[in-house]
Structure 1
Amino acid sequence: MAVEILMPGLGLSISEGTVERWLKKEGDRVEKGELLAVILTEKVTLDLPAEASGILLRIIYPAGSKVKVGEIIAIIGDAGESLGSDLKAEHPSLPSSIHPSSTPLSFQDRGDLKISPLAIRIASEHGVDPREVAAEFPGKKIGKDQVLAFLETRKRAGKAPSTPLSPPAQPEDEVRLLRGPMRAMAEHMARSAQTAARVTTMAEVDMAEMVKLRLALKEKFQKEYQVNLTFVPFVMKAMVEGVKEFPILNASLRGEEIILHRQVNIGIAVDTGESLLVPAVRDVATKTIVDLSGEISQLSSKAREGKLSLADIQGGTITLTNAGVYGALLATPLIHQPQSAILWMGKVMDTPVAREGQVVIRPMMYLCLSYDHRIVMGAQAIRFLQAVKKNLENPYPLLV
């Protein structure tokens, strides 16, 4: 009896995944629990185990395919079991573009596209995805001749190529395919920009008391708890206080429903060097500054080492990103869909400010809040930001 292997559920905010590579090929024997494929989402890379023992009868989606959650990506059955022409009838969710008897492509099985720089340049100039060319020449390295033959075939078939990219790559340029985490990040950021009615408001925070407190506790945290005390956990606790007053900042818009989340699960943006990942710290309201410091450190390390699990990146309800560590002062951050807000913190910098009629030097920091104006009113966002500012300027209660 054939068993359908489905694209797994990847969390509330993820509707599709990409088959990064297959670890088995058609005809291979697999055991239940043995790894079949590597699935890439916009947030993390996952290993997909086999749900049954048997023979991998059919790979429906080759490596590089983007698949909706719940769709069939492969079929496991008994040796000699024939699917034949009844495959589409038995499995109506199969894509119409996949022929039941198609042979998986060797370069796709390896998850590696073999193509010369010249071929990439020619394909780019004609607006052609190199993977389309490779699909016509399974198992072969793609060069100039293969790309030109592909173009000629499309011309004869009357299929016009898409609009050429401008400007075309030059011979001295390096051309990289947009794939993997970078492709997922690009698609997510574009979707956010096209979906949310994003507005950004800013506040200037006097961090003098915060700096004093951190300086007083830094050595203690290092010696007793083996964690580096930063401003981030204090900002997270201040966000919780703001959400208590304005819960709409901790909400999600899904279709015609606004979901007000009871827990404050703060996603922390981590730059891995190749992509931006957002693991979530759950139920921040119940955790101490020590707890948060340790968890932030662990999640950041796992993100940079590529060891985040699906559980680590699920469930975020609002996001915090700290670009101040890189010296940035101001930004208009994109909202992490389907959340309603993201808070951006800048560099703490000595700045001349007016205090009681005198110009004094104070450690100041900008907070930039982007919010979805479809469900968050401007007054709510501004007052939320002022609540965060108030708690950071008097941070001692945040230790409780």
Structure 2
Amino acid sequence: MPADIHVPELGESVTDATVGRWLKKEGEAVKAGEPLVELETDKINFEVEAEQDGVLQKIAKGEGETVNVGEVIGTIAEGDGAQPAAEEETAEAQEREEPEAAPAEIGEATNGHREAEEGARRASPAVRKLAREYGVDLSEIEGSGSGGRITREDVERVIREQARPAPEEAPQADGHAETAPAPRPAPAAAEGRPEERVRLSRRRLTIAQRLVQSQHEAAMLTTFNEVDMSAVMELRRRRRESFQERTGARLGFMSFFTKASVAALKAFPQVNAELDGNELVLKKYYDIGVAVSTDEGLVVPVVRDADRKNFAEIEQEIAELATKAREGRLTLEDLRGGTFTITNGGIFGSLMSTPILTTPQVAILGMHKIQERPVVVDGEVVVRPMMYLALSYDHRVIDGAEAVSFLVRIKELIEDPEALLLEG
């Protein structure tokens, strides 16, 4: 008997998702455990698998639609399935065998209804949804897809044509042209300038919403400093190979900045806090978020209890989280919480930036490109590998003097790795 496909539990505090893309078409055979559809949430994307063998009988929710936990998004029926091409050939054969249309006085409406249904059958749920949104009659479109199927490009072409301005009215008998409302400007694509419309992913939409929310809700300021990376770079040069042989982890810069941040957070506990109404929640643990860039946008997996981990453990965990992020394997647990965030725009060549807070956190540290610059040391101009640091903070919770002192403490620890080993 048919079995409904439900939206599964999505995790703590996640109640809805967006249908990303269907991996199977209606009428296709499916196997138990085979991925059917990809759902997008504001944190992760995941695939819903078939719970039994059969045929994908119906797609109830098309791509781009919002669905809730437990909602039915499709149906699997018993059977072996049929290839879409074979189904279309059968439909075409049935059309050829159909009798001629009924007389005009009783058949016009019927034929129009049949044509509309036939047009809908030749289009996917996502294409039908697009046509409905723009009032496009599928029965009037000649599909360019296999077997005459109507594609998204076919519908978008009709939408562009409908958006073109109508030709000017000819003058009336009295010599005056009939006045018509100004037409809506045609899209650039209609003027021979190509465009492409790409649906934003659920994650990208959520990132945009939260960044704007952070800017509106927090009194965000940024303070800057620079750090001489000479000592850390020299230590890495001497210890990198033996460190990797002994631990299996690559000794990068992130472990140094994570350790320095933890030490500075212990010295300035209000930076490791959260504003909850009229109360300030001081966190007595140190879960450090590490921003990772992916094709779908920035994600911030969390290194838990960073104060209890050594350099090797931090490097290994950051590497694992970054790999999971880029392969789309992060779980909700990987992203949950976080008391302070570090982002490194330097890997893309950024020399200076103002990072935006990851609410409800009240501060974020921005690292940047290491660049050799002339600096004055003991009255002499020398060339040193320098990095600009930026600390964005919520001025409702953190005073300027406290933010500057916090950043200076990180600078001191990075420039003196021995102190970092003792205090971090």
**TM-score, reference length from structure 1:** 0.70
| Matched letter for residue 41 of structure 1 | T
Q: 1:302 maps to what in 2? A: 324
Corresponding residue to 1:73 among 58, 71, 74: 71
Q: 1:287 maps to what in 2? A: 309
Q: Which of 1 and 2 has greater Rg?
A: 2
Q: 1:133 maps to what in 2? A: 134
Quick check: 388-397 or 25-34, which moved more?
25-34
In the TM superposition, what is the alpha-carbon distance from 1:19 to its structure 2 partner?
2.7
Greater helix proportion: 2
Q: Distance in 1 between matches of 2:228 and 2:163?
A: 62
CA contact (8 A) 2:163 2:186 kept: no
| Matched letter for residue 44 of structure 2 | V
* 1:114–1:384 distance in 2 versus 1, CA, 3 Å: farther
- Three-state SS of the structure 2 residue aligned to 1:334 is coil
In the TM superposition, what is the alpha-carbon distance from 1:235 to its structure 2 partner?
0.1
- Three-state SS of the structure 2 residue aligned to 1:63 is coil
Alignment deviations for residues 192-221 of structure 1 (CA, whole Å, 9 cap, x no partner) = 333332211111112222122111211112
Quick check: 20-29 or 285-294, which moved more?
20-29
CA contact (8 A) 1:199 1:373 kept: yes
Q: Distance in 2 between matches of 1:337 and 1:189?
A: 9
Q: Distance in 2 between matches of 1:285 and 1:217?
A: 22
Q: 1:205 maps to what in 2? A: 227
Alignment deviations for residues 108-129 of structure 1 (CA, whole Å, 9 cap, x no partner) = 56xxx699xxxxxxxxxxxxx8
In the TM superposition, what is the alpha-carbon distance from 1:105 to its structure 2 partner?
12
Pairing 1:311-330 to 2, within 5 Å after superposition: 311-330=333-352
In the TM superposition, what is the alpha-carbon distance from 1:337 to its structure 2 partner?
2.6
Where relative contact order (Cα < 8 A, 6+ residues apart) is larger, the structure is 1
Quick check: 288-297 or 19-28, which moved more?
19-28
Pairing 1:112-261 to 2, within 5 Å after superposition: 132-133=133-134, 140-141=150-151, 142-145=155-158, 171-180=192-201, 181-253=203-275, 258-261=280-283
In the TM superposition, what is the alpha-carbon distance from 1:62 to its structure 2 partner?
4.1
Q: Distance in 2 between matches of 1:136 and 1:254?
A: 52
CA contact (8 A) 2:321 2:330 kept: yes
CA contact (8 A) 1:169 1:175 kept: no
- Three-state SS of the structure 2 residue aligned to 1:363 is strand
In the TM superposition, what is the alpha-carbon distance from 1:279 to its structure 2 partner?
1.4
CA contact (8 A) 1:133 1:147 kept: no
In the TM superposition, what is the alpha-carbon distance from 1:358 to its structure 2 partner?
1.8
In the TM superposition, what is the alpha-carbon distance from 1:24 to its structure 2 partner?
7.7
In the TM superposition, what is the alpha-carbon distance from 1:185 to its structure 2 partner?
3.5
Q: 1:372 maps to what in 2? A: 394
**TM-score, reference length from structure 2:** 0.66
| Matched letter for residue 368 of structure 2 | G
In the TM superposition, what is the alpha-carbon distance from 1:302 to its structure 2 partner?
1.7
* 1:349–1:143 distance in 2 versus 1, CA, 3 Å: closer
Q: 1:388 maps to what in 2? A: 410
In the TM superposition, what is the alpha-carbon distance from 1:275 to its structure 2 partner?
2.0
* 1:42–1:104 distance in 2 versus 1, CA, 3 Å: farther
Aligned residues: 349
Alignment deviations for residues 92-147 of structure 1 (CA, whole Å, 9 cap, x no partner) = xxxxxxxxxxx9997456xxx699xxxxxxxxxxxxx8883389869843143356
Quote the sequence identity (%): 37
**Structure 2: unaligned runs, 5 residues or longer:** 78-119, 140-148, 166-183
Q: Distance in 2 between matches of 1:262 and 1:131?
A: 54
* 1:57–1:247 distance in 2 versus 1, CA, 3 Å: farther
| Matched letter for residue 220 of structure 1 | S
CA contact (8 A) 2:289 2:341 kept: yes
